[in-house]
Chains A and B, each alone.
Chain A
Amino acid sequence: MTPVTTDVAAPDTRRAGRYVYIAAVVLLCAWVLVPLYFLLINTLSSPETVNSFPKPFLPEFDLGSLGFFAGFAGILTALKNSILVAGLTMIMSILIGAPAGYALSRFDFRGKEAFRLLILLTRAFPLPLLALPLAVMFIQTGLDDTVFGLSLVHTTLAIPFAVLITFSLFSGIPLELEEAAWTLGCTRLTAFTKVVLPLILPGITASAIFAFVISWNEVFAAAVLTIENRTLTAFLLQNLDTSPLHLKFAGGFILVVPALIFIFAVRKYLFAMWGIANR
C-alpha cells in the first residue's frame, strides 16, 4: 500500500521539496555574495559614509579609499612580492605536480592508492603546527624572509591540487591517442608535444592559476616567515589592524577580487580534480 500513499502525497511533497531547494540555493548564494557586496559598497564609499548608519545599498563610486592604497608606502613592494611568490609557486607546483599526475595516471605501481590519499592528507595537516619548526629551519638555512623560501612553503600547499588536477587531466586522454601518434611518425616527445600537450594545456593553465591563487590567499606562513619582504596579505594584515575602517574595507577588497576572478575563470577544472570532469 505504500506506493499509493506516496503517489497521493507526491505533488505536494515535490513542491515543498522544490521550495526548500530554492531557499537553500538562495541562502547559500547570499552567504557568499552579501558580504562581498558590502565589501564593494564600503570600498567605493567615502570615509564618512562608511562610518555612518544606516548604510546605503548603492555604491557612491568614491575612489578615495582605493586611491589611498595606491600611494600607501610599501604596498607596491608587497604587491610585487605577492606576485613573485605566487608566480614561483605556480611554476614549481606545476613542474613537480604534473609529472606526478602523469605517473599516477599512466603507470601502475605499488601503493598508488595510498599515495593518492597521502597527497590529499597533506592538506589536513595544520600549518600553525609547522610554522615554528619551519621558521627555525628557515632561519638556520637563510631562507627566512626571502621570496623563494615562502614560495617553497606555498608550493607544498599547492602541490596536492596540482597533482590531483593533472592526474585527472592525463587520465582523460586515452593512451591510444599517443600510440596513434607514434604509428603516424611521432617519437614519444613529439607525440607528447603535438597531441597530449595541446589537449591538456587549458587544464594545466587552470591548475597553475589555482596554485597562484592558493599562494596569493595564503596569509599565515607569509606573516610568520617574512618580515621585510612581506606579501600583500601579510602586509595588509599587519597594517590594517591599526587602520581606519574604510581602509580595512578597501584593503580587503584588493585582496579578494583577484582571487575571485581567477577562481571563477578556472572553476570548470576544479571539478575535474575529483574526476567529475564535465566534458
Chain B
Amino acid sequence: MAEIQIKNVAKRFGSYQALHDINLTIQDQEFMVLLGASGCGKTTLLRIIAGLETATEGEVWIGGRRVDHLPPKDRGIAMVFQNYAVFPHLTVFENIGFGLRMQKLPNDEVKRRVERTAGLMHIDQLLGRYSGELSGGQRQRVAVARALAMEPDVILMDEPLSNLDALLRMEMRAELKGVLAESNTTAIYVTHDQVEAMSMADRISVMHQGKIVQAASPIEVYRNPAAEFVAGFIGNPPMNFLPATPAGDGKWTVAGQILDGPSRTTPLHFAIRPEDLRPADTGLAATVKVVEPLGAHLLVTCSVDGALFRAVLDSDLTVRRGDTLTLAPQPDRVRWFDPETTLAVA
C-alpha cells in the first residue's frame, strides 16, 4: 500500500518560487502524470518526492509514513531518469541488480529478480553488456528494469521517453503502461508531452508556474479544463477562445452571434474545441486563412472577428483560402472562462 500525500509543499530557489503550496494525493497503484511546459516545477516536485531535493515548506507522506526528512534510499521509491543514468562501469546484469546488492540480498535471489525484470523488459539477451554497447532504447529498458527490480512501492519517472525517437517512444509508451499496471506499483510520471500524458495516465496533474492547475482523469482534463491555461495547453490544436459580452438573461454575444451561456453580468471568454465545430446555416462567421489537409480531417485556420480560430472539419468538404464559413459550435461542448481569474465558469 503506497498512497502518496503531498501537503502544502513549497520550494524556493533563492528568490525564485518554483512551487507554490502544492497539495496532491495519489492513490495506491495509481498512474499519475505530472504534465506541464518546461520550467513549470513538475520535475522539482518529483525530485522532492524522491528526496533529491528538499522542500522549503510542507510534508511528503508515502504509505502513511512521513518521509520528507528521509534520504532517498529510505523512502521505498525507485526512479527512472531522463538520461537513463545507467552505470557505465557495470554490466546490464549488475546495473539491474545494483539496488538488490545494496540490500545485501543473497546471490540467487538477485539473479532471480534480475532475470525476471530483464525478461519483462525484453533485455534478457543483453545482461552481459555494458551501457556503452547499448542503444538509447535499450538503455531506457535497463533503467526501467533496474527500478522495477527493486519492487518499490512507488516508481518515479522523469521524462523517461523524451530522448527516444518518435516510433520507439510510441512503442515504449504502451509497453511501460502494461508493465507498470502488472507490477501494482504507484507511479508518478513527469512529461511535457500531452499525448504521453493522455495515453498513459489514470489521472493527470496539469502544472503551470509552480502550481497544480487541475488534477483529473485525462478525459475530464480534455473536456472540462479547469482553467484557460489547461484549455490552451491540452489538445492539438488547442481550444479556441473568443471574447463574450453579456446580452442579459443567460444570453451572450460572441462575434455578433447570440449564444446561451451562464447567467453572469461580467464579460467572459467563450471557448470551443476545434473538432466541436460544424459548418451550418447559422453560426460564427469565419474567414479561412489556411487549409491543411491531414488525411482524415481538414485543419482550417480562420479569423473570427479578428481573432485566430481553428476548426477540424471533415476532409470531404471543399474549403479554400478566402472562403467564409459559418461554423456552429456544438452546444454541450461550449465552455466559459472568467478572464479575471482565468478559471472555468459553470
Q: Which residue of B lies closest to A176 (CB)?
A: B85
Complex CA distance for A190 and B72, rounded to whole angstroms: 13
Interface pair B89/A184, CB less than 8 Å apart: no
Selecting from B98-106, B267-275, B331-339, the interface stretch reads B98-106
- Report the tally of A-B residue pairs with Cβ distances under 8 A: 56
For the complex, give the distance between the alpha carbons of A183 and B85 in Å: 11
Interface centre among B72, B79, B82 (most CB of A within 10 A): B72
**A184–B83 contact, CB under 8 A?**
no
Chain B 78-107 interface 0/1 with A at a Cβ cutoff of 8 Å (1 = within): 110111010111000000001100110000
Closest to B75 in A: A183
State A179–B102 Cα separation when bound (angstroms): 15
Q: Does the CB pair B83–A174 fall under 8 Å? A: yes
Q: Once the chains are docked, how many angstroms separate the CA of A268 from the CA of B151?
A: 41
Inter-chain contact B52/A184, CB cutoff 8 Å: no
Is B150 in the interface zone, CB < 8 Å from A? yes
CA distance A184 to B102 in the complex (A): 7
Q: Mark A175-204, 1 if CB is under 8 A from B, else 0.
A: 011011111111100100001001100000
B73: interface (CB < 8 Å): yes
Question: What is the CA–CA distance of A185 and B81 in the complex, to the nearest angstrom?
Answer: 16
- Specify which chain A residues have a CB less than 8 angstroms from the CB of B87 in the assembled complex: 177, 180-181, 195
Q: When the two chains form the complex, which single residue of B82, B89, B99, B156 contacts A185, counting CB atoms closer than 8 Å?
A: B99
Complex CA gap A185/B110 in Å reads: 15
Contacts of A177 in B (CB 8 A): 85, 87
For window 12-28 of B, CB contacts with A under 8 Å fall at: none
Pick from A174, A183, A187, A195: contact of B77, CB under 8 Å: A183
* B237 at interface, CB cutoff 8 A: no
Q: Is the CB of A179 within 8 A of B89?
A: no
Query: What residues of A have a CB within 8 angstroms of the CB of B150 in the complex?
Result: 184-185
B141 at interface by CB-CB < 8 Å: no
CB of B250 within 8 A of chain A?
no
In the complex, whether B190 has a CB less than 8 A from a CB of chain A is no
- In the complex, what residues of A have CB within 8 A of residue B146's CB? 180, 184
Are B89 and A183 neighbours in the complex by a CB distance under 8 Å? Answer: no
Asked if B71 is at the interface of the complex by the 8 Å CB criterion, the answer is yes
Interface membership of B50, Cβ < 8 A: yes
- The size of the chain A interface, using a CB distance under 8 A, is 16
Q: Mark A197-221, 1 if CB is under 8 A from B, else 0.
A: 0110000000000000000000000
**Residues of chain B with a CB closer than 8 A to A185's CB:** 73, 99, 102-103, 150
Chain A, 15-48, contact with B by CB distance < 8 Å: what is the 0/1 string?
A: 0000000000000000000000000000000000
**How many B residues are at the interface, by size bracket?**
20 to 34
- A224 to B50, alpha carbons, bound, how many Å? 58
A183 close to B72 (CB less than 8 A): yes
Q: Of A180, A186, A190, A199, which one neighbours B89 at CB under 8 angstroms? A: A199
| Option from A174, A183, A187 in Cβ contact (under 8 Å) with B50 | A183
Q: Which residues of A contact B81 (CB under 8 A)?
A: 176, 179-180
A187 with B71: CB separation less than 8 A: yes
- Given A177-B87, A179-B85, A199-B88, check contact A184 B71 (CB 8 Å): no
Please, which residues of chain B bring their CB within 8 A of the CB of A183?
Answer: 50-52, 72-73, 77-79, 156
Min CB–CB distance A59 → chain B (angstroms):
43
Q: Could you tell me the distance between the alpha carbons of A31 and B149 in the complex, rounded to whole angstroms?
A: 59
Q: Which chain B residues in 113-165 approach chain A with CB under 8 Å?
A: 146, 150, 156
Residue with the highest number of chain B CB atoms closer than 10 Å, among A182, A198, A199: A182
Closest-by-CB residue of B relative to A180 is B85
CB pair B88 A184 closer than 8 Å: no
User: Which of B85, B146, B156 has its CB near the most chain A CB atoms (within 10 A)?
Assistant: B85
Provide the residues of chain B in CB contact with A198, threshold 8 Å: 89
Chain A residues near B (Cβ < 8 Å) = 174, 176-177, 179-187, 190, 195, 198-199
Pairs across A and B, CB under 8 Å, 15 listed: A174-B83, A176-B81, A179-B52, A180-B79, A180-B85, A182-B51, A183-B52, A183-B73, A184-B78, A184-B99, A184-B150, A185-B73, A185-B102, A187-B71, A199-B88
